[in-house]
Chains A and B, each alone.
Chain A
Amino acid sequence: MTQTLPREWAHRAPAQRAILWLGWFALVALFVWCWQIMSKDTIWAFVWDAPDQALDIGSRMMPPKWAYLPQLMKPLWDTLNIATLGTVGGVLIAIPVAFLAARNTTPSTTFLRPVALFIIVTSRSINSLIWALLLVAIIGPGLLAGIIAIALRSIGFVGKLLYEAIEETDPRQIEAITATGAGPAQVLTYGIVPQILPAFWSISVFRWDINIRESAILGLVGAGGLGLKMNASLAILAWDQVFVILLLILATVVLSEWISAQVRKAII
């Protein structure tokens, strides 16, 4: 008796293919459904009009108004300060939170660890722009709102990465320090801190780099820095000024990314 073999080679068995096909079909159906809900209120005349609008904005942006650049130096300094002071503040709060959240250093797994994890999740899931929006409403526009917004957003990021680094520390080194009769504080400074220090600096510099990007646009909701100038220029439709600001933001972001990459390379 000979078993009839399929003539053509296929990657998967028929049943598997059917399931896969159904999965893709469901995705396409979901996409079409979502698309219809989303574009229900879209005014298509505006959409078809977009290339003309783009040309119009493009022509208004050229030539960029370089004379505006000197006025941007103070906002640039503000932006850098928001990012740096915000990072410092965020990191200072994130350190204790990370130690409370790490399984091997937390004093109580049942009570303090969930609280620390909740702080981290809350801070991570709300964008710094939303924090800024709230803080501008609460404490008024200005640099302080921006700094606090950046700090609040950084707690979650730095805290999460740092507590993972703490949990990944080598337990043998900590045991060795404990075996010499060291107290809890000594175990922390001689057993844990040296192991996480490189990770700590690289996380902080990485977050600083991200914060430079974010602080550049925080001004759009009134929290100071370059975004404030951008908002003002957008309000008067001065696209040539907007273009200069954009180029300045781009240059700052590229520079800070380069610095952060260099520092991280030097540390690791």
Chain B
Amino acid sequence: MSSYPGTWRRPPQIVSDKRVRLALQLGVLVYLVLALGSVEVNWQRVSEGLERGQRFIMGFLQPDFSSRWKDISQGLTESLTMTLTSTVVGVLVSIPFGIGASRNIVPRQIYVFCRAVIAISRSLQELIVAIFLVAMFGFGPFAGFLTLSFATIGFIGKLLADEIEEIDEAQVEAIRSTGASWLQMLNYAIQPQIMPRLIGLSLYRLDINFRESAVIGIVGAGGIGATLNTAIDRYEYDSAGAILLIIIAIVMVAEYSSSYLRKFLQ
């Protein structure tokens, strides 16, 4: 009679070869040792900073909205207006790019060109674009507006193009067979199919643009980020805490309302 093992071990799920697993584990260990070794930490500075950290947490718990309220409200207005205008302009510009990047309705040359523009816009981070645009257009929310519009083109353009490539071809054929031109086909066959998705994506991008508008101010592109940067530079942690709380609150409201609206539209 064969004896059964008394215990059972779950077989590994992802890497089933034992040697590969061992090599992976060793590699990870070696990397961690090397990486942790290259991190130089000035512990004295860290311990000095802990007191500041404490002050920051106190500032977060007792935010000071009033003493810098003028700066905060100005930064906030800039951020909010920048968010809205850049989303509107970005979406308007990204619609032709999105249509141009759909392989099923345009010729090859246009497709390649539009996909290239989208790829460039997607691979450059907002902050880097902002640095260049601030250098070109000067400080202030206008550079931020351009940055966010540019970033919106890549985001909406790509998702819209993917959506158009997956539409129901039967409807396009039906409209075409009535003798419709290319523009009529776009208006009556494609636009009704993608409109709910486009509105949903625009709302989502509105939400992202607000978050980003809080960041690009650090390099001088206006908005609440600039106010936050100033507050931290002045070591006014209670004002910084107030700004962060406002950002968190707006992001939460934007996220919930945009997901609610998207559900409502679908």
Contacts and interface: CB of A to CB of B under 8 A. Distances in A.
Interface string A116-156: 00000110111101100110011110111001000000000
Interface in B117-146: 123-125, 127-128, 131-132, 135-138, 140-142, 145
B88 A38 contact: no
A37 B82 CA distance: 9
Interface SS of chain B: helix, strand, loop or mixed? helix
A72 interface: no
Given A38-B78, A126-B244, A217-B127, A140 B10 contact: no
A125 B39 contact: no
B85 A137 contact: no
Interface string B10-51: 100110000000000000000100011011111001101110
B39 A137 contact: no
Contacts of B248: 121-122, 125-126
Nearest to A218: B127
B219 A220 contact: yes
Contact of A142 (B41, B211, B215, B225): B41
Contact of B136 (A53, A126, A234, A250): A53
B85 A35 contact: yes
Contacts of A124: 251
A34 B135 contact: no
B53 interface: yes
Interface string A20-54: 00000001001100110111011100110010011
Contacts of A18: none
Contacts of A133: 218, 228-229, 232
Interface string A221-257: 1000000000000100000000000100110011000
A201 B228 contact: no
A121 B229 contact: no
A213 B125 CA distance: 8
B13 A138 contact: no
Nearest to A30: B84
Contacts of B125: 213-214, 216-217
B41 A129 contact: no
Contacts of A220: 127, 218-219
Contacts of B132: 57
A214 B212 CA distance: 13
B214 A46 contact: no
Contact of A140 (B36, B42, B145, B228): B42
Interface of B: 10, 13-14, 31, 35-36, 38-42, 45-46, 48-50, 52-53, 56, 77-78, 80-82, 84-85, 88, 123-125, 127-128, 131-132, 135-138, 140-142, 145, 211-212, 214-215, 218-219, 225, 228-229, 232, 235, 240, 244, 247-248, 251-252, 255
Given A34-B80, A139-B45, 16 more contacts: A27-B88, A31-B84, A38-B141, A39-B141, A46-B137, A53-B135, A84-B31, A130-B247, A133-B218, A137-B52, A138-B49, A139-B46, A142-B42, A147-B39, A194-B13, A198-B14
Interface of A: 27, 30-31, 34-35, 37-39, 41-43, 46-47, 50, 53-54, 57, 77-78, 81, 84-85, 121-122, 124-127, 129-130, 133-134, 137-140, 142-144, 147, 189-190, 194, 197-198, 201, 213-214, 216-217, 220-221, 234, 246, 249-250, 253-254, 267
16 contacts: A43-B140, A47-B138, A53-B136, A57-B132, A84-B31, A84-B35, A124-B251, A130-B214, A133-B218, A133-B228, A138-B56, A201-B14, A217-B125, A217-B128, A221-B218, A234-B131
